[in-house]
Amino acid sequence: MSNDRIAWLENGQEFNVGFNELLNYHGQGYPGGVAHGLKVMQRAWPLLDDGRLPERREVRCVTAFGGPGGRDAIEFVTRGLTEGRYIVDKSLGEGVEESPGGRYYFRFEYRGTAVEVTIRPGHVRPEFIVLARKQDRTPAEEVTLAAMKREMGDRLLALAAEEIYDAKVSQL
């Protein structure tokens, strides 16, 4: 599977989707967040069930990441938000690098296994966090922020998920 795709099972049938499809579902606003959502799933999936693809409706995600791009990417694949298996808890992930509205911490749970996925330092630029959190941005700052989101998405897509995120496996 390429750097920009993710696969899963539904009732034993394999499906897969690419970044552009996830971004179209999301609506273009947060391409960096969509890339994060894709990459955390790519990082977690091989560890959830000894390399087998997960059944989408059995995956639960608990995260400290409040961004809509990541949420929509994970929702597209798992339907976890719709079905109550996607939970945002911003108190989690203490010590993990911060996102504009939380932390880059994700815990995927599947059939008795949990995989905690946390970002490695250096993948999110500090100036992005500062600008994204700024209230009352000017039109020029909005253009800059949009460019930063696209740049982050492009940069993350070029990397293997293992280069961006650490993962820790445990049993539930």
Residues 6+ apart with CB under 8 A from 21: 76
DSSP assignment of 21-58, as one string? HHHHHHTSS-HHHHHHHHHHHHHHHHHHTTTPPPBGGG
- State the average pLDDT over residues 22-38: 95
Q: What is the pTM of this model?
A: 0.96
- Give the architecture (CATH level 2) of 5-171: 2-Layer Sandwich (3.30)
d(CA 107, CA 123): 19
Residues 6+ apart with CB under 8 A from 83: 57
- What would the pLDDT profile of 33-53 be if each residue is shown by its tens digit? 999 999 999 999 999 999 999
- What would the pLDDT profile of 88-132 be if each residue is shown by its tens digit? 999 999 999 999 989 999 999 999 999 999 999 999 999 999 999
